[in-house]
Chain A
Amino acid sequence: MADIQSPLPGTFYHRPSPEDAPYKATGDAVAIGDVIGLVEVMKTFIEVKSEIAGTFAGYAADNDGPVTAGQVLATLDD
Chain B
Amino acid sequence: MAISRLLIANRGEIAVRIIRAARDLGIYTIQAHSEADADMLAVRLADEAVCIGPAAAKTSYLDVARIVDAARQTGADAVHPGYGFLSESPRFARALQEAGITYVGPSADTIERMGDKVAARQAAQAAGTPVVPGSKGRIDTLDDAVATAAQVGYPVMIKAAAGGGGRGIRIAANEDELRKLAPQAQSEAQAAFGDGGLYLERALRDPRHIEVQILGDGTRAVHCFERECSIQRRRQKVWEEAGATCLDEATRQSLCASAVAMAEAVGYKGAGTLEFLYEEASNQFFFIEMNTRIQVEHPVTEMVTGIDLVQEMIRIAGGEPLRFRQEQITVTGHAIEVRINAEDPHLQFMPFPGTVGALRLPEGDGIRMDHFLYEGYQIPPFYDSLIGKLIAHGADRAQAISRLRAALQTLSIDGLKTTIPLHLALADDPQVQAGAVHTQWLEPWLDAGNLTPAATGGAS
Q: Which A residues form the contact surface with B (CB < 8 A)?
A: 8-11, 41-44, 46, 64, 66
Do A8 and B351 have beta carbons less than 8 Å apart?
Answer: yes
Do A11 and B382 have beta carbons less than 8 Å apart?
Answer: yes
Of residues 375 through 399 on chain B, the ones whose CB sits less than 8 Å from some CB of chain A are: 380-385
Q: Which of A44, A46, A64 interacts with B56 by CB under 8 Å?
A: A64
Q: What A residues does B383 contact at CB under 8 A?
A: 42-43
Q: What B residues does A43 contact at CB under 8 A?
A: 351, 383-385
Q: Given the interface contacts A9-B381, A64-B56, does A41 sit within 8 Å of B351 by beta carbon?
A: yes
Do A10 and B56 have beta carbons less than 8 Å apart?
Answer: no
Q: Whole-angstrom distance between the alpha carbons of A41 and B349 in the complex?
A: 12
Do A41 and B56 have beta carbons less than 8 Å apart?
Answer: no
Q: Which B residues form the contact surface with A (CB < 8 A)?
A: 36, 55-56, 342-343, 350-351, 353, 380-385
Q: Which of B342, B382, B384 interacts with A10 by CB under 8 Å?
A: B382
Q: Whole-angstrom distance between the alpha carbons of A52 and B342 in the complex?
A: 30
Q: Given the interface contacts A8-B381, A10-B382, A11-B382, does A44 sit within 8 Å of B55 by beta carbon?
A: no
Q: What B residues does A8 contact at CB under 8 A?
A: 351, 353, 381
- 18 more A-B residue pairs beyond the given contacts A9-B381, A43-B351, with a C-beta to C-beta distance below 8 A: A8-B353, A8-B381, A9-B353, A9-B380, A10-B353, A10-B381, A11-B55, A11-B381, A42-B343, A42-B351, A42-B353, A42-B383, A42-B384, A42-B385, A43-B383, A44-B351, A64-B56, A66-B56
Q: Nearest A residue to B36 by beta-carbon distance?
A: A66
Q: What A residues does B56 contact at CB under 8 A?
A: 11, 64, 66
Looking at chain B's contact residues, the main secondary structure is loop
Do B55 and A66 have beta carbons less than 8 Å apart?
Answer: yes
Q: Nearest A residue to B348 by beta-carbon distance?
A: A44
Q: 4 smallest A-B Cβ distances: which pairs?
A: A42-B351, A42-B385, A10-B381, A9-B381
Do A41 and B384 have beta carbons less than 8 Å apart?
Answer: no
Q: Whole-angstrom distance between the alpha carbons of A8 and B342 in the complex?
A: 13
Do A44 and B350 have beta carbons less than 8 Å apart?
Answer: yes
- Chain B nearest CB from A18 CB (Å) reads 12
Q: What A residues does B385 contact at CB under 8 A?
A: 42-44
Q: What A residues does B350 contact at CB under 8 A?
A: 44, 46
Q: What B residues does A11 contact at CB under 8 A?
A: 55-56, 381-382
Q: What A residues does B342 contact at CB under 8 A?
A: 42
Q: What B residues does A66 contact at CB under 8 A?
A: 36, 55-56, 382
Do B36 and A41 have beta carbons less than 8 Å apart?
Answer: no
Do B353 and A41 have beta carbons less than 8 Å apart?
Answer: yes
Q: List 10 A–B pairs whose Cβ atoms lie within 8 Å, in order of A's numbering.
A: A9-B353, A9-B380, A11-B381, A41-B351, A42-B342, A42-B382, A44-B351, A46-B350, A64-B56, A66-B382
Q: Whole-angstrom distance between the alpha carbons of A65 and B455 in the complex?
A: 40
Q: Whole-angstrom distance between the alpha carbons of A11 and B34 in the complex?
A: 15
Q: Whole-angstrom distance between the alpha carbons of A44 and B385 in the complex?
A: 9
